[in-house]
Homo-oligomer: A and B are copies of this chain.
Amino acid sequence: MMSAMGAEPRLRIMRLLLSAHPEGMVVGDIQSELGIPGSTLSHHLEKLKIVGLVNVSRERQFLRYSANTDVLQNLLAFLFDECCSRSSAIKPQSIANLCKPDTD
What is the copy number of this chain in the assembly?
2
Quick check: is A38 within 8 A (CB to CB) of the other chain?
no
In chain B, what residue has the closest Cβ to A103?
A: B93
Q: How many A residues touch B, CB cutoff 8 Å?
A: 44
Point out residues on A near B: beta carbons under 8 Å: 1-7, 11, 14-15, 18-19, 21-22, 67, 69, 72-73, 75-77, 79-87, 89-100, 103-104
Q: What are 21 contact pairs spanning A and B, CB under 8 A? A: A4-B6, A14-B82, A19-B87, A22-B89, A67-B87, A69-B87, A75-B79, A76-B80, A76-B90, A80-B95, A80-B99, A83-B99, A84-B99, A85-B99, A92-B92, A92-B95, A92-B98, A92-B99, A93-B100, A93-B103, A93-B104
